[in-house]
Each structure stands twice: as structure tokens, then as C-alpha cells.
């Protein structure tokens, strides 16, 4: 059996990184890359996936991403998923172009759109992250996280200019609009 793994939140400037692993027990119709599905469809599929799979979801907060680096956090999340789901499967497949140096992990570009287990993981990661950003939005009203989920929209960058970064923001992610250098460079601790 296959465990599909995918992440949500690699690129935002605020909020957690969320990585999910899914081993399907029963077939689920309508699975696809979470970015290709409407929010309503993702929410419906989320509940079906939870009921019809063995799964594990890992959240890594912005402070840890700043301290350890994004690659380190991704790798640790994947290792936690493997450890939690290894009794349910014999193969692990990650969406993307790297296996993060993990011997038993394979990778495939666009797996989230072509492999049902990875599609399911994509949906669990995206819905879990979106729900988190919606939940914290009332505590950080000036940033309107419910609208952009922490991504670097023009309105979000303008809010950072006005209010500075919150404890949900990634300080290691540099913004050209704020005159910061090393745009998009994160530490790698392999």
C-alpha cells in the first residue's frame, strides 16, 4: 500500500507549514490537487478522507521555520509521518522534485494531481492549514488572514508595512516590497 505525502504552506509569509500523509483504506471519488478544487469541494473531501484512510498531519509554526529552516522542517515532518504510518503501508511518495535525502521516500512532480493518495494528502494539508488561518484571523484582525491565508498579497504586505510582523509571521522570509534582501532564501540544514 502507498502513503501519499504533500504539504501546504511552503510559500506563505505567515502561518504554519502543514504536511499530511494519507494511506487510503477505501476508494474516494473526486480526488485531485487541492489547488484545483473549490473550497467547498475540499471541505467535503476532507471529511471523506478522514473517514476512509489512515493519516497523519504535522504542523510546524513560523518560529520553528525561522529557527530551523524550511527544508529541515519539511524533512522532519515527513519523517514523523513515515514513523506514524509505516505500519499501514510499504511505500511513501511525496509530491515534488526531492526526497529530502530520505531513502524510503520517492518523489514525483505533480503527484498531487495524478496519484490519489497524494491528492488526498494535498487536501488534508490545505484544509487543515486554511482552517487554522481562519481560526486565528480574529486574533490578528489587522492582517485579515482569512482572506489570503498568510500568502504575500498586496494587502497583506501593506498590513505588514503598517503594523509590522506578528508572531505568526516568518521573519526569515524576506520581502522585496519592504526593502529586505535575500528574497526567498531559507536555511537548509541537511
Could you tell me whether strands 53-60 and 17-24 are parallel, antiparallel, or unpaired per DSSP bridges?
A: antiparallel
Burial 83-93 (b: 16+ CB within 10 A, else e): ebbeebbeebb
- Strand 91-95: give its sheet, edge to edge: 53-60, 17-24, 2-8, 91-95, 105-108
Nearest alpha carbon to residue 14 among 176, 146, 189:
146
- 6 assigned to a ligand binding site: yes
Contact 2, 23 (CB under 8 A): yes
* Kind plus residue range of the DSSP H or E element containing 18: strand 17-24
Does the annotation place 95 within a ligand binding site? yes
Strands 53-60 and 2-8, how do they pair?
unpaired
Return binding residues. Answer: 6-7, 95
Return binding residues for a divalent metal cation. Answer: 6-7, 95
Amino acid at each position: 500500500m502507498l502513503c501519499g505525502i504533500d504539504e501546504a504552506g511552503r510559500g506563505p509569509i505567515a502561518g504554519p507549514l502543514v504536511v499530511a500523509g494519507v494511506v487510503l483504506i477505501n476508494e474516494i471519488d473526486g480526488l485531485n490537487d487541492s489547488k484545483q478544487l473549490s473550497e467547498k469541494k475540499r471541505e467535503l473531501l476532507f471529511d471523506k478522507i478522514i473517514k476512509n484512510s489512515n493519516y497523519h498531519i504535522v504542523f510546524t509554526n513560523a518560529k520553528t521555520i525561522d529557527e530551523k529552516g524550511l527544508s529541515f522542517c519539511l524533512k522532519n515532518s515527513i519523517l514523523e509521518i513515515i514513523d506514524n504510518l509505516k505500519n499501514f503501508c510499504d511505500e511513501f511518495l511525496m509530491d515534488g522534485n526531492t526526497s529530502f535525502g530520505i531513502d524510503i521516500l520517492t518523489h514525483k512532480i505533480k503527484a498531487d494531481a495524478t496519484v490519489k493518495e497524494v491528492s488526498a494528502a494535498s487536501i488534508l494539508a490545505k484544509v487543515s492549514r486554511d482552517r487554522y488561518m481562519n481560526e486565528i484571523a480574529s486574533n490578528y484582525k489587522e492582517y485579515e488572514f482569512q482572506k489570503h491565508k498568510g500568502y504575500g498579497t498586496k494587502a497583506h504586505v501593506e498590513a505588514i508595512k503598517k503594523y509590522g510582523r506578528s508572531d505568526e509571521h516568518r521573519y526569515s522570509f524576506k520581502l522585496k516590497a519592504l526593502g529586505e534582501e535575500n528574497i526567498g532564501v531559507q536555511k537548509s540544514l541537511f
